[in-house]
């Protein structure tokens, strides 16, 4: 019996590990698949929702590291994860995405000579001011299996000298979860809660510190929201830190009733909002992918993206952080000038099955 430990830490990780856990059940006579939750996302209520929505078992290990600077959080994860590996002696550690838990657990496993598999490998923004870019580069450099979501990842890894034998183009596990939960999402009543209908609202998700910790950006964001709210309702699920910034500068008092600042929303309700939005304005990597699969118009408020297939093939427009340009692009879409797109190769709901099969054959 081979033992595999998959790591979850922050919100995007849950939806990536869930299909992997299901895929490994096919091999439960020969593979024991365990889940380690680092506690990087430390909101207990939200973590519980993630496990329930994604039909994950209770984590076998919970490290409880909580918040802190990048250095403090990464160090805490490494110290606690090392204890798990020394006790459990797994045959493989699987990490997903690009959060601090990803790089911390990869480093610990590598130094203990435990093979590492990186799911969502090879993505590059080429912006080293982003902590996620550093996490991606370091994790890929020490991984033994690199599972790639789009062909740009293959090209990036080849350019960095990674041996072809380690690289596998398998598709996107996030899309596996989206496809699996879409029927549940279709039954959501979230639009009634916000008194809106399909296509009659804009969905905004902005969380990157470079955006939402900048007072000038937030004031201009208020102008963007006001411009949109003249014609459409705007729904903005707000991270607690972003909400405190908005309240500190008094922006919330100047927004129209057509702008809804909501608390964070669970995945199933959020998927319903994503599928039925007239437009999404985001700085999130995952939402670029989900909107592309669903054929929903998306404007990305960043100067770069590590997911270029969403622009080259999908419905995503990379506009940058100049919110006047974002406003112009949004008005173009809302007036009917929409970008056509298609679903990228291998985004078919079977990525996790491919990954589990590759690992089973090689372990």
Contacts of residue 48, defined as CB under 8 A and 6 or more positions apart, other chains included, come to none
From residue 231, alpha-carbon distances to 16, 203, 220, 330 in Å are 36, 14, 18, 12
Residue 14's CB is within 10 A of a number of other CB atoms, namely 24
207 assigned to active site: yes
What are the backbone angles phi and psi of residue 282, rounded to the nearest 5°? -150, 165
Give me the catalytic one of 37, 41, 70, 207: 207
- 212, 321 in Cβ contact below 8 A? no
Is the Cα dihedral 220, 226, 232, 234 positive or negative? positive
Tokens of 327: 């406003």
Which tokens hold the place of 207?
A: 């969380």
CA 257 vs CA 194, 233, 254: distances in Å: 11, 9, 10
Task: Give the DSSP letter string of 87-106.
Answer: HH--SEEEEETTSHHHHHHH
> Which residues participate in catalysis according to the annotation?
207
């Amino acid at each position: 019996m081979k033992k595999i430990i998959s790591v979850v830490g922050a919100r995007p990780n849950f939806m990536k590990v869930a299909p992997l856990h299901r895929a490994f059940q096919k091999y439960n006579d020969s593979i024991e698949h365990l889940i380690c939750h680092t506690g990087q996302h430390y909101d207990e209520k939200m973590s519980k929702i993630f496990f329930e929505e994604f039909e994950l078992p209770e984590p076998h290990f919970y490290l409880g590291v909580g918040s802190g600077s990048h250095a403090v959080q990464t160090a805490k994860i490494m110290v606690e994860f090392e204890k798990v590996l020394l006790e459990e002696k797994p045959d493989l550690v699987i990490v997903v995405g690009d959060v601090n838990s990803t790089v911390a657990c990869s480093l610990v496993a590598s130094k203990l000579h435990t093979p590492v598999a990186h799911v969502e490998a090879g993505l590059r923004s080429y912006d080293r001011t982003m902590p996620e870019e550093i996490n991606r580069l370091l994790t890929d450099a020490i991984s033994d299996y690199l599972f790639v979501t789009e062909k740009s990842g293959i090209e990036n890894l080849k350019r960095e000298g990674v041996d072809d034998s380690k690289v596998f183009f398998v598709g996107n596990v996030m899309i596996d979860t989206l496809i699996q939960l879409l029927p549940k999402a279709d039954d959501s009543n979230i639009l009634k809660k916000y008194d809106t209908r399909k296509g009659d609202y804009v969905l905004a998700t902005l969380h990157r510190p470079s955006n939402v910790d900048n007072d000038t950006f937030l004031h201009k964001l208020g102008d963007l929201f006001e411009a949109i709210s003249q014609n459409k309702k705007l729904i903005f699920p707000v991270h607690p830190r972003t909400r405190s910034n908005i309240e500190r500068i008094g922006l919330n008092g100047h927004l129209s009733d057509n702008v809804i600042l909501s608390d964070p929303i669970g995945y199933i309700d959020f998927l319903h909002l994503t599928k039925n939005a007239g437009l999404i304005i985001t700085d999130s990597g995952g939402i670029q992918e989900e909107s592309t699969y669903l054929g929903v118009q998306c404007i990305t408020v960043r100067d770069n993206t590590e997911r270029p297939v969403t622009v080259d093939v999908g419905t995503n427009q990379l506009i940058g952080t100049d919110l006047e340009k974002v406003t112009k692009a949004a008005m173009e879409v809302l007036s009917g000038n929409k970008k056509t797109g298609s679903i990228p190769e291998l985004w078919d709901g079977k990525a996790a099955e491919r990954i589990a099969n590759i690992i089973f054959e090689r372990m």
